[in-house]
Structure 1
Amino acid sequence: MAPTPWLRVSRILWLACLLRLAPAVAAAGLYELHLVSDGPATTGAEVNITASLVAGDNSSLALPTDPHSYRFHWVHSPLLLTGKTDEAFRSTIRAVGSAPGDFPISVWVTADDCQTCQPVASSSLVLSVTESIVGKLVITQNASLPWPSTYLTKTVLKTSFVLHDPSDFFKTASFLYSWDFEDGTQMVTEDSTVYYNRSIMGTFTVKLKVVAEWEQAAPAAEKGIVQKTGHFSGSLKLQETLRGIQVVGPTQVQAYQELPMTLNFLGSPPVTVCWHLRTVCLPLEDHKCHRRESVASTAYNMSTIFMEPGDYCFSIRAENVISRTHQYYRVQVWPSSIQPAVFAFPCATIITMMLALIMYMTLRNTSHQKDMAEVADFDFSPMSDKKPEHPTEARCCQMCCLPFLLETPSEYLEVARENHGLLPPLYKSVKTYTV
């Protein structure tokens, strides 16, 4: 059975619709939509939101040559649309918020000849609308510093208010600025920039109140005064550059004696200190640091012990986030009068042994001389009838001492009398024997 004419027509229309959908489906995911705005905005001020169609990051496709191949669709309610501009692969709308709040804005892109087809790209953002003035407080210094957001004491601070008004909503308004620097200094100016000098380091906050007034025509052809305000603040930390390092400590010390030192930093902490000990004063290099310490105060205590006498020089470097300084400190080391502990025990042992040996020799000599004097009191001649109490000792003395006594008896007795006084006095008669 042949198909009816109406069935053939429906099939043709269905195939035609698929052919029209094919490019849009193939393009889906190959492009991206970038959405930006110049918000936040003040109520009543006009805001620009721009959407741009670009090729995706993972896509090597280029945009079509015909700039009118795609159409942008916006959703911006409850913002009031005041204008729209379409360019090549870009669309911009202008809207006004009559009430404060956060408002979502969405946009998607479709093929120009198939607006009901699947979007090739989409994006969204949230626009903030406020009743107050929109802007920011900027604080700078008239000093060229290598680190950003760095502020110095005793240097002029330039404090400025920058108004955010891309639509020139406040072009007819007059402004009044009230400044508060938290140290009792307050001022009111018509200029958006003031200069301030603070000599105390630390963190403080600058507060600013901005008032804008202008005339606006009322619906009843009467002019009214419109006023808007804004409150802003900015915190900053004032620091001092390192003007030098004061070293407190002795300049002369003995070897093997501890040398205490105190480093006083003339500047703002935290400070990183690095030092190296040399025999000459030379600039300190980064890889030559003996020790690197982080100090949270303006003082640092350190100590070292010198093992050898001589002239030494401490090369000291300190730096904080804004500056760096160097210092040299000379120390003269004298030979130590007290030997180190490693030699004390051997020396004490030797001295003790020497003293013991001397005492032993002295006692031994004294005992020996006493024995000799006592032996001299006996007559060891063969004719003598006086015998010693101990025969063994007598025989020993006869063998060792008799030859000397026989040769010089008078001289030996005289020496014994002088040294010990153990022999009878000279006036006492002495027995003599003839052989």
Structure 2
Amino acid sequence: MISANNVISLLVILFVQILAAECTTKYKTATSKEESPTLVLKNDSPTILGASTTFYAALILPDGHVVEEDNYLYMWKEDIPRKKRKWQHANVYTNLTEKYNDRRYDIGSHKMKVDVFKYAGKVASADTSFEITEYINGGLAAVQKNVSSSKPRSFATNQEIEFIAEIYDPSQYFRDANLSFTWDFGNRISKNTTQKHTVHSYGEAAIYKVKVNLTALVPYQDYGSFDVKTGQFEQTIRLMDPITDFTINGRSEVTLGQRSNYTLTCNGSLPIMLCWYFRADSGCEISLNESVSDVCQEITLLDDCRYDVELDFNTTGQHCFGIRAYSDISEDVTLLDISVKDVPAPPSPAVTVSLTSLAVLTTLGGIIVAAFAFHQIVRARRLQPVEVADFDFRERTNSNTTYRSNLPSVVCFSAPTEKVKRPLKRSLC
């Protein structure tokens, strides 16, 4: 007969064997090449000396799914002298935050290595590079409102640009710091502020290098003093004149079959791209924002904002000539409504002959009238009387006085009306 103690012993042995088999299965699953997880390791550096860096770890399967939640052992090891290993029990996600304030060893590029263990076996391993800096980390951003810039760091002249000093501080090291900024806009103009942003505008199209120098007084919580941190951010920007005075010069009324020239002109910084199209039987209410790639003719202007287009008109009616000009910082559109009329019919031969005869008769009548008028003028001049003065210089005497008369005696003559010469009749007038 089997005793109770024997039964209990058998049950315990069976339970231990089942547990051992389950543990072995889990270990093989975790360490097999097909199901072996990958350790993804990241950090939030660069970090300024005195601040903290946080490292993030996650176990990921080859298909991208996260490993089932379980307990793992993480070992963190840095390649910095005097830094010790750190052990951590965690799930599939974990992180570690380290502070770096040793100027002798910490400044520079380093590596953090992590090994993950389970059931006394290593299941994953990875490393990540991080950097500890002596100066403030960050960058300089520039923003211009109401300007559609197609390229970064390209801006329009005569419009304000907002410059922003962006300090990279994931550990909030500068949260209580006193900050000051010295701005150099690259055009011999500078200013000082206590704010991390300022505005400036440029009147001339050119390339400028903008710089900002930062000074931060970081308070020590325990000593009542400050740690001075500095940094410099810079950015090169390009200022361009926006497109203005964009016009089409040419005839708005043409005849069927006529060839006309049109000149496109504008002002603005080059290069400027043109996209023009011509549509028949359509008014100029069409928006150039719609897709016109099938008929759009693209031209790039490099030397001058001027372009000549020659158009042939083969259909009557209203036509739309549209052009879109755009650069890195602006765009403009202009439209011209063109009316194409049919060629007028030529006059009939009978009408042509009548018009010609009328013109000839009118010309002859004018000649006759002019000749008659000239004849009358000449005749009138011949009939005009001619006055001749007859001066008498003889001495006259009377009983008491002798004197010379200075009063002329007038003799009147009439021009002859016949060709036969006749003596002039002298008469007193």
Q: Deviations for 1:213-240, whole angstroms, at most 9, x for unmatched residues?
A: 245489xx7x765322111112333445
Q: Larger deviation: 314-323 or 244-253?
A: 244-253
Q: Which amino acid aligns with 1:45?
A: A
Runs ≥4 residues deviating over 6 A? 81-85, 252-257, 309-312, 331-336
Mapped partners of 2:187, 2:128: distance in 1: 42
Structure 1 residue 168, shift from structure 2 partner? 2.7
Cα contact 1:82–1:94 (8 A) shared by 2: no
TM-score w.r.t. length of structure 1: 0.60
Match of 1:155 in 2: 159
Stretch moving more, 206-215 or 101-110: 206-215
Q: CA deviation at 1:191?
A: 0.9
Q: 8 Å contact 2:138–2:167 — kept in the other structure? A: yes
- Give the distance between the partners of 2:337 and 2:186, measured in 1 at CA: 42
Asked if structure 1 preserves the Cα contact closer than 8 Å seen for 2:247 and 2:334, the reply is no
- Check 1:231–1:84 CA distance in 2 against 1; reply closer, same or farther (3 A cut): farther
Secondary structure at 1:22 match in 2 = helix
Counterpart CA distance in 2 for 1:262 and 1:84 is: 77
Q: Select between 187-196 and 253-262 the one with higher mean Cα deviation.
A: 253-262
1:166 pairs with 2:170: yes
Change (3 A) 1:335 1:301: farther
Which residue identity does 1:292 align to in structure 2?
A: Q
Decide whether the 8 Å contact of 1:208 with 1:232 is kept in 2: yes
CA displacement at 1:300 relative to structure 2: 3.5
Q: Residues 85 and 210 (structure 1 numbering): CA distance in 2 closer, same or farther, change over 3 Å? A: farther
Mapped partners of 1:186, 1:196: distance in 2: 10
In structure 1, distance between residues paired with 2:140 and 2:257: 60
Paired with 1:185 and 1:301, the residues of 2 have a C-alpha distance of: 38
Quote the offset at 1:51 in angstroms: 0.8
Q: Does 1:318 align with 2:324?
A: yes
In structure 2, relative to structure 1, the CA distance for the partners of 1:257 and 1:74 (3 Å cut) is same
Q: 1:95 aligns with which of 98, 102, 105?
A: 98
Which of the residues 106, 110, 114 maps onto 2:113? 106
Q: Secondary structure at the match of 1:315?
A: strand
Mapped to 1, the partners of 2:275 and 2:182 lie a distance apart of 43
- 1:50 aligned partner: 56
Q: Residue 292 of structure 1 aligns with which residue?
A: 297
Alpha-carbon spacing, 1:146–1:177, altered in 2? closer, same or farther (3 Å): closer
Letter in 2 for 1:264: T
Work out whether 1:122 is the aligned partner of 2:125.
yes
Partner of 1:364: none
Distance change in 2, residues 1:90/1:192 (3 Å): same
Contact 2:259 2:313 in 1 (8 A): no
Instruction: Letter of the 2:277 partner, please give it.
Output: W
Task: Give 1:30 deviation, angstroms.
Answer: 2.9
Amino acid at match of 2:99: V
Q: In 1, distance between residues paired with 2:116 and 2:123? A: 6
Number of aligned residues? 311
Q: Percent identity?
A: 17
Describe the superposition over 1:61-100 as per-residue Cα deviations: whole angstroms up to 9, x where unpaired: x6344x31x2112221317579886542223222233332
Q: How does 1:32-431 map to 2 (within 5 A)?
A: 32-57=38-63, 63-65=67-69, 67-68=70-71, 70-78=72-80, 80=83, 86-97=89-100, 98=102, 99-111=106-118, 113-114=119-120, 117=121, 119-143=122-146, 145=148, 149=152, 151-216=155-220, 225-239=226-240, 241-243=242-244, 245-249=246-250, 259-268=260-269, 269-276=271-278, 278=280, 281-282=283-284, 283=286, 286-287=291-292, 290-297=295-302, 299-304=305-310, 306=312, 313-320=319-326, 321=328, 322-328=330-336, 330=338
| Partners of 1:309 and 1:92 in 2: CA distance | 75
After superposition, give the CA deviation of every residue in 1:171-205 in whole Å (9 maximum; x if it has no partner). Answer: 34322211111122211111111012234345433
Q: For residues 29 and 254 of structure 2, what CA distance do their matches in structure 1 show?
A: 90
Conserved? CA contact 1:84–1:91, under 8 Å:
no
Taking structure 2 as the reference length, the TM-score comes to 0.60
Give SS of 1:120's match: strand
Measure, in 2, the Cα distance between the counterparts of 1:254 and 1:142. 46
| One-letter amino acid of the structure 1 residue matched with residue 179 of structure 2 | F
Residues of 1 paired with 2:315 and 2:35: CA distance?
80
1:49 deviates by: 0.7
Question: What is the distance in 2 between the residues matched to 1:247 and 1:318?
Answer: 11
The root-mean-square deviation of aligned C-alpha atoms, in Å, is 3.9
Closer/same/farther in 2, CA of residues 84 and 178 from structure 1, 3 Å limit: farther
Mapped to 2, the partners of 1:94 and 1:319 lie a distance apart of 54
Contact 1:255–1:333 at 8 Å: present in 2 too? yes
CA deviation after TM superposition for structure 1 residue 141, in Å: 2.6
Distance 2:133 2:215 in 1: 15
Alignment-derived partner of residue 26 in structure 1: 32
Question: What do the CA deviations read for 1:258-285 (whole angstroms, capped 9, x no partner)?
Answer: 5333212344543232121536643266
Question: Partner of 2:31: helix, strand, or coil?
Answer: helix
Confirm or deny: 8 A CA contact 2:73 2:88 kept in the other structure: no
Q: Distance in 2 between matches of 1:27 and 1:330?
A: 75
